Amino acid sequence: MSLILSTRFDGVPAAPPLPDLSDYTYEREGANIDFTWYGLDIHPNGTSIYMVQSEGSSSERQVALNTPWSVISYGTATAGIANVTNREGCRIRQDDGTSFWTITNGGTVHKYNLTTPYSLGGSSSVPNIVLSSLAGAGAITETKGLFIKPDGTTLWVSSLSNSRLVEFSMNPAWDISTMAYIKTVSFNNCQDIWFNSNGSRLYYCGGTTVRQYNLVTPWDIDVLGPQIASLNLTGHVVTATALTFKPDLSVLYVMDRGGSGNYQVNQYIAS
């Protein structure tokens, strides 16, 4: 039986619907990556992953993928930033790769300018921002994840012990020195956060679950729609610390802080 795609009024085939978390199934886990890696992001062409460390040797690392978009086999650690401490979350600037952003457990955001786009080698640190020092932000503790709007104007962080999701603005875009507190919403058991490209969906992980919310207004965390779906990671992930997606949402990656010999990135595929 042939598949007939729906068409718009202009005769162009309609885009397929985005997968929900209920559409994902476990595919594979990557090799043990050693030490307690927390944050996770992926190169926009799927050729490497980025991680940050809160314990062990404490560094920020970029690791090549032998097959794009697959964590089953890692190449060499192509670049890294050493002698950093207490990092929990990370994001590479996706549009041009000129900066790498991390957050510490204590609520400090660090930005690194990258000499070579998308490469952590040859990076230079710019002044960091202690979030609790910003007017109106209040105490922000046990920060775990961060996400930056693709246009660089908004940054969100998850505060686990405060059960909060906190929003900040930047104007000009991508200028960490201009960060200003915007708002806080209640958000429970959130280790890391991720929005899709148009801000219509918010995902977060905590424990052994990934959850999905559709936003009533794109990028507006004030009004979350009902929880659309969740993905139970039990049996494959012990403690989810970070998540990221392939841009088309066809693949989900979850960092597992599972204990010695079980620090891995797990890969889920949308059916």
Q: What is the mean pLDDT of the chain?
A: 88
**Pairing between β-strand 99-104 and β-strand 70-81 as defined by DSSP bridges:** unpaired
For residue 3, what pLDDT is reported?
A: 46
Label residue 261 by pLDDT band (50, 70, 90): low
Per the DSSP assignment, residues forming a β-bridge with 202 are: 195, 213
Contacts of 172 (CB under 8 A, 6+ apart): 178
Place of tokens 């086999």: 73
Place of tokens 């598949």: 3
* Architecture of the domain defined by 27-270: 7 Propeller (2.130)
Label residue 271 by pLDDT band (50, 70, 90): confident
| Whether the predicted pLDDT of 1 surpasses 50 | no
| Whether the predicted pLDDT of 7 surpasses 80 | no
Q: Please tell me the distance from the alpha carbon of residue 12 to that of residue 10, in angstroms, as a whole number.
A: 6
Residues 103-149 have pLDDT tens digits of 999 999 999 999 999 999 888 999 899 999 999 998 888 899 999 99
For residue 178, what pLDDT is reported?
A: 97
- Output 98 or 259, whichever has higher pLDDT: 98
Task: Name which of 9-18, 177-186, 189-198 the model is least confident about.
Answer: 9-18
Label residue 31 by pLDDT band (50, 70, 90): confident
Contacts of 144 (CB under 8 A, 6+ apart): 38, 88, 89, 103, 105, 158, 159, 160, 190, 191, 192, 241
Residue count (the chain) = 271
The two three-digit tokens of residue 157, written as one number: 């962080």
Residue type, 161: S
The two three-digit tokens of residue 32, written as one number: 């043990």
> Where do the domains of the chain lie?
27-270
Q: Which CA distances in Å does 91 have to 19, 223, 243?
A: 23, 25, 11
Q: Please tell me the distance from the alpha carbon of residue 72 to that of residue 256, in angstroms, as a whole number.
A: 14
Contact status, residue 231 vs residue 24, Cβ threshold 8 Å = yes
Contact status, residue 156 vs residue 193, Cβ threshold 8 Å = yes
For residue 43, what pLDDT is reported?
A: 97
Full-model pTM: 0.91
Summary count for the chain: helices (H), strands (E)? 0, 21
